[in-house]
């Protein structure tokens, strides 16, 4: 899976894209409220690992995440 954290502006919050190995968009959610989107994408069992990875993820860089 791949993660991309997008920096927001004053009115637009930060967002995260969750994509599979074919770069198909699985989830697109606000960085401050990811719980429902992660569960809906089918990764509820890996939620804590993903949240920790998102916190350390730099903005604007597509990063591979192994689960």
Q: Taking the domains of the chain in order of start, what are their residue ranges?
A: 2-64
d(CA 46, CA 38): 9
The pLDDT value recorded for residue 35 is 87
Helix residue ranges per DSSP H, 1-67? 35-40, 47-56
pLDDT digits (tens, 9 = 90+) for 8-58: 998 999 999 999 999 999 999 998 888 889 899 898 898 899 889 999 999
């Amino acid at each position: 899976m791949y993660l991309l954290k997008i920096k927001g502006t004053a009115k637009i919050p930060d967002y995260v894209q969750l994509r599979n190995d074919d770069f198909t968009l699985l989830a697109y959610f606000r960085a401050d409220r990811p719980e429902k989107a992660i569960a809906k994408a089918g990764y509820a069992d890996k939620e804590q690992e993903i949240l920790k990875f998102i916190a350390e993820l730099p903005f604007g860089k597509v990063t591979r995440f192994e689960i």
